[in-house]
A = this chain, B = another copy of it.
């Protein structure tokens, strides 16, 4: 085998990027890998719009099934997205024994078990490097490069849109809504931004990474998810004064064989590597018991970066076809990596809290008293002088148990002296 015939389903941004990458670098890839990817067929409902790449007319079709069923197609690349027809296409390909490359994190996070079972029964490959952190080869690192490690911790900035919004709020001193609107206008955020700003997309990626680390396809159910809509410029500024940036993190951590998984905004030190991951960039921090701390950084989305990962997967599939080594590295391999899921209430964090409180005696005594009763130690308190009737009070805590903190929070909400909803953001210290 010298050529891999690629059948592309979905000719959107990433699809066009894949075509462009293969057109530009196909010959070089052939020299390096011994197999050259060729875009043999492209299916999309819209085959007339200009995608900025030139393809022969007879390559294009509106009939995805015909591409999947074609005998001369070696690998089906699903770039439709979503969890409905994309799933049908992938299952159709796998039932035919045809290898699949996909960038579809939502589909894998929600229906991975079904897809991997289909792949197993037909002994077909499924590769999905582009599903997590775009162009960063993190799936390959997790499944192959770090195979000798028990994974102790994964912390990722996994959603470029959120990181762009948070970075821009800080740099331009603008509020969330304003930056989101600008991001939508500039094409950095979807018209319906919920998947990104509510943390769902980061959660999809987090559960995929956790599944690879611990050998059970978790799905979305065990995940605690909080997005960035509640992050204010005020908190970004206060965090900066205290030496922190606010990032949306996917956090996976193993403690005594139990695993916790969560997605939420968090304060990370301005002086940490994570604190320097800005704009649309992604980064994944992986700590293994043998390798120690590692980090992987790059563009988490976009036409070209995603194409880089998709084409690398096509090459892996092509090499497996050439060598008859299908499922050399299976799409997903169950293994016994953990005992049980740690409930969110049992996790431990340090916390940043901001209260808008009445400017009157006894406020700090009351709040610090509730914290003490909840077994939460205060690390620092900042209350600026003010003439107003209410003032902001910022408290950082030492490590405390989430359940205790939530109980304290319920009590704070009932205090007449606490004017607005108290703000609670966890702090992540990465060594």
Residues of A at under 8 Å CB distance from B? 17, 21-22, 24-25, 28-29, 31-34, 129, 135-137, 140-141, 143-150, 215, 271-273, 276-277, 288-299, 304-305, 307-309, 311-312, 315-316, 319-320, 322-325, 328-330, 333-337
Task: Please give, as numbers and ranges, the residues of chain B lying within 8 Å of A143 by CB-CB distance.
Answer: 32
User: Chain A binding site: helix, strand, loop or mixed by DSSP?
Assistant: mixed
Task: For A291, list chain B residues within 8 Å (CB).
Answer: 135, 298-299, 304-305, 308-309
Q: Is the CB of A32 within 8 A of B215?
A: yes
What is the CA–CA distance of A391 and B150 in the complex, to the nearest angstrom? 55
Known: A137-B141, A271-B276. A290 touches B21 (CB 8 A): yes
Which residues of B sit under 8 angstroms from A215, Cβ to Cβ? Answer: 31-32
Question: Closest chain B residue to A148 by CB distance?
Answer: B311
Partner of A28, one of B137, B141, B337: B337
Q: Is A147 a contact of B31 with CB atoms below 8 Å?
A: no
List residues of chain B with CB within 8 A of the CB of A290: 17, 21, 24-25, 135, 304-305, 307-308, 311
In contact, A34 and B292 (Cβ under 8 angstroms): no
Interface contact A25-B148, CB-CB below 8 Å: yes
Q: Is the CB of A150 within 8 A of B324?
A: no
Residues in B neighbouring A328, C-beta threshold 8 A? 319, 322-323, 325, 328
* Structural contact, B294 and A294, CB atoms closer than 8 A: no
B336 touches A31 (CB 8 A): yes
8 contacts between A and B (CB under 8 A): A144-B316, A147-B315, A290-B307, A294-B299, A296-B296, A323-B324, A324-B324, A324-B325
- Check B149 against A145 for contact (C-beta < 8 Å): no
- State which of B147, B312, B324 has its C-beta within 8 Å of the C-beta of A33: B147
A315 contact set on B, CB distance < 8 A: 144, 147-148
